[in-house]
Chain A
Amino acid sequence: MLIAAPLLALPVLALFAVLARRAAWSHAVVYGGAFLAAVALLAGGLDRLGGGGPTALTLPFGLPWLHAHFRVDNLSALFLVIVNIAAAAASVFAVGYGPHLPDQRRVTPFFPLFLFGMNAVLVADDAFMFLVSWEFMSLSSWLLVLSDHTRPETRKAAMVYLTMAVFGTFCLLPAFGLLAGAGGDFTFDAMRMKELAPASAFLVVLLALLGAGSKAGLVPLHAWLPLAHPAAPSHVSALMSGVMTKVALYGLIRILFDLHGEIGWQWGAVLMVVGGVTAVLGVLYAVMQDDLKVLLAYSTVENIGVVVIGLGLALAFKAGGEPALAALALVAGLYHALNHSVFKSLLFLGAGAVMSATGERSLGALGGLLKRLPWTGATFLVGAAAISALPPLNGFVSEWLILQSLFKGPTLPHWAMKFGVPVVGALLALAAALAAACFVRAYGVAFLGRPRTAAAAEADGNAVTLGMRLSLAALAALCVWLGAAPVTMTNALSEVVRPLTGIEVPVSADLGWPWLSPAGPSSGSYSGTILVAMGLLLCGLAVMLVHRLGTRALRVSDAWDCGHAEDIPQTQYTGHSFAQPMRRAFGATVFRARESVDMPEPGDDAPARHVVSMIDPVWDGLYRSLGRLVDFLADQVNRMQFLTVRRYLLMMFATLVIWLLVVAVRQQL
């Protein structure tokens, strides 16, 4: 009830948004309604997560021979929580943010529909409802991406996104078909019961990985993500990046851990490698970006990679006969999914606040915003620290747990895994370090230093309205809480993974609350709670001592100016200069980055220019050659339009004869 009613209210809200689109107040009503629905769904999810077995519901609609099945188990409930935390925050944010949009009438009606689609995917319990909801989610978010359709790059992004969405569903459809088998029973219950033949078991995993992976943004299927996520309005970007990718992961987990019977350890290895490559490449892209939202989108790619490493490790442990370690890795992955949805929503909403205050999203045009936008600056700092995996925030806990479970890799029976797991661990560590560098750069260039443009210097703090501030602050507080009370979370998560791995993992069993000790009492333990408490205590002590002992005299003087007497903002570190060492170290191989100096002819008074050329290995290597192949095939097929009558007859004749031959040969067998 707590889930069904708000779910049904969302399409009604969308209808209302269309009917009342002329009234200025309708947007606030719709977003308010979406907030209430999200809170109700969140409460429903938390309630279910608290205890009780799965609840199922069958409704008599959908396909004629198949009723619509819905079911909420712990996994669905967890993802309901993940989705609706961010949805509630984005709805509150949107009340104040909407009026800044070029035409919010193109955004408001689809926003509740998007929420509806994502939530419906989570509660679907048959393949038909799942795919319909999945497409609903894809298409409504596509329309949201397209809301600013006057810009050509948005249209391109939407086109690429639509293509990838279609590709994803195109892969998922046969995956479910194979899971259902010849009997054609599309309920998830029937799929759980079914034993798969080796060939179809292989194909199901491959197709699920391609289908859900393209939506989640796994390399090399991530190409749409950094185009489409930033093109949408910021509160939608927050949901697409923070939440929709999680719904894709939900699909992956549902198929791999729940519906599919047995999966070999090789698939775990594949997932780990894909995850590791995704994490490193994603953050390498991110660290070079100048556009704040594109940077955040690439960082999403990285975090999805981190989660997928956890999932792959869980698969490998499960197949290797270590259910407890599988549960640990899965808990770590799910924890990171939850955390990422919180801090990525926070960062995207922060980017939205920056955009509404300055109208800029290029790092090169920002700077010194902390003074003018203290709320946004402070909360963005929390988000940036969390995503950089700094203790005591939430990002640290989940990445630490994933690393801890990676350290257990050598207990796996296969030598490939014994040696491979540490490599993936190294990739993960590299990605985490680069992510920290990336966000030091993003935060430092955007919020610290001096303003680089007039837009940044005149940033309007009032444009960040109360609703926006509240939602930012709530998410930031959640980042701290998820980091400070990790044991509560891991206990809830181990309930979630129990049906998937067959075992409950008490991550804090050895040392008791509030200590996390996944690797046993002696080899590694962490307590966010104590860390936060001690930190607060020490900070308070330090502040008290400073105020007690320090002098109250106040002296205002110039900042140290590095010897530059003139006050030119251009002399500061820029985003490009900060990224240069990393571009030289990694970009030269990965992106074939080349630097050249473009000197004007003698006598020409144009300035000399530093030019950097980079090649996107995925886009140019994979997608362009794929495009060329399609063009080539189309050309070949095109020739068939200009044959003689006799040749056409010949083709028909040949086709007929070939099929007759096939029939004849099959008869002989």
Chain B
Amino acid sequence: MGQISYEVAHLLGATMLMAGFGLLYQRRLYAVLNTFAFQALALAAAAAWQAHVQHAPHLYVTAGIALVFKGMLVPFALHWLVERLGIHRSVDTALSIGWTMIVGVVLVALSILLVLPVTANAAALTRESLAVAMSVVLLGMLMMITRRNAVTQVVGFMALENGLLLAAVSAKGMPLVVEISVAFSVLIAMTLFGIFFFRIRERFDTLDLQYLETYRGDRQ
């Protein structure tokens, strides 16, 4: 049991990590959204597996939230937004894809180097999951800063949040209320982002953030 639970959890975490790299690799907006949905599904599966392994039924709720909100609602909403707004469907990068991947690999190495010694006394499962979760978080941040389009930034933020949730479900004894509040805050953030997309598009005819710079009044 111990061995198989560890292997499956490891597999699901690694799937999320791969999905994180996938997010960085995609050049098409729809593909980015699909990859994100895939990552959220992996998260839901990981949460459900943890619920099963830890005998913690409240984690099933977490898994459900992840599945419904992040796996379906958010990607569909973003699909709809992109279609509705007629956004240009290629990803505009600030750092080339190749370099982004290299930096991503370095970040993963860093988080493994960092987490494994710190958690030397914890269970192997927790250690691996924490290292993977931290890598996912860092990859999400990397996505936020290396992509110009506002939609991809939102996706980066959501991916970061996926990493946080993975860390949360891997550690034993995380109360449900924390996950629920995180899920709701993400939903609210999503709503706000959506409204802002519309407003930005209406005013500036683009979602590329660099066009916003010229409108800033406080530049000297």
Contacts and interface: CB of A to CB of B under 8 A. Distances in A.
Interface of A: 641-642, 644-646, 649-650, 653, 656-657, 660-661, 663-664, 667-668
B114 A650 contact: no
Given A653-B141, A667-B118, A646 B148 contact: yes
A657 B138 contact: yes
A650 B141 CA distance: 9
Interface stretch (B25-33, B162-170, B176-184, B208-216): B208-216
Contacts of A641: 218
B209 A645 contact: yes
Interface of B: 94, 107, 110-111, 113-114, 117-118, 138, 141-142, 144-145, 148, 153, 209-210, 213, 216, 218-220
Contacts of A646: 94, 144-145, 148, 153, 209
A653 B142 contact: yes
B219 A642 contact: yes
A656 B139 CA distance: 13
Given A660-B114, A663-B118, 7 more contacts: A645-B209, A660-B110, A663-B114, A664-B113, A667-B113, A667-B117, A667-B118
A563 B110 CA distance: 93
A660 B144 CA distance: 19
B13 to A, nearest CB: 19
Contacts of B142: 653
A661 B110 contact: yes
Contacts of B118: 663, 667
A644 B114 CA distance: 30
Contacts of A657: 107, 110, 138
Nearest to A654: B145
Contacts of B209: 644-646
A644 B110 contact: no
Contacts of B144: 646, 649, 653
A646 B212 CA distance: 12
A189 B148 CA distance: 63
A653 B145 CA distance: 8
Closest 10 CB pairs of A and B: A650-B145, A649-B145, A664-B114, A667-B117, A664-B113, A653-B141, A642-B219, A649-B144, A660-B114, A653-B145
A642 B141 CA distance: 21
User: Main SS of chain B's interface residues?
Assistant: helix
A649 B142 CA distance: 9
A541 B142 CA distance: 99
Nearest to B103: A657
Contacts of A653: 141-142, 144-145
B54 to A, nearest CB: 28
Contacts of A661: 110
8 contacts: A644-B209, A644-B210, A646-B145, A646-B153, A649-B145, A657-B110, A667-B113, A667-B118
Contacts of B148: 646
A195 B114 CA distance: 37
A653 B144 CA distance: 10
A645 B209 CA distance: 8
Contacts of B107: 657
A650 B148 CA distance: 12
Contacts of B94: 646
Most chain A CB inside 10 Å of its own CB: which residue of B107, B144, B145, B218? B145
A662 to B, nearest CB: 10
Nearest to A646: B145
Contact of B216 (A642, A663, A667): A642
B218 A642 contact: yes
Contacts of B145: 646, 649-650, 653
Contacts of A663: 114, 118
A646 B144 CA distance: 7
Contact of A667 (B114, B138, B153, B213): B114
Nearest to A639: B220
B146 to A, nearest CB: 8
A649 B141 contact: yes
A668 B220 CA distance: 46
Contacts of B213: 644
A650 B117 CA distance: 27
Nearest to B118: A667
A644 B211 CA distance: 10
A664 B209 CA distance: 34
A650 B118 CA distance: 26
Contacts of A642: 216, 218-220
Nearest to B111: A660
A374 to B, nearest CB: 65
B104 to A, nearest CB: 12
Nearest to B150: A645
Nearest to A647: B145
Contacts of A667: 113-114, 117-118
Contacts of B141: 649, 653, 656
Contacts of B153: 646
A642 B219 CA distance: 6
Contacts of B113: 664, 667-668
A664 B111 CA distance: 9
A663 B113 CA distance: 10
A649 B117 CA distance: 28
Contacts of B210: 644
A614 B83 CA distance: 74
A663 B220 CA distance: 38
A656 B145 CA distance: 13
A420 B220 CA distance: 55
B47 to A, nearest CB: 25
A664 B110 contact: yes
A261 B99 CA distance: 57
B14 to A, nearest CB: 21
A357 to B, nearest CB: 55
Contacts of B219: 642
B87 to A, nearest CB: 18
A356 to B, nearest CB: 52
A231 B121 CA distance: 67
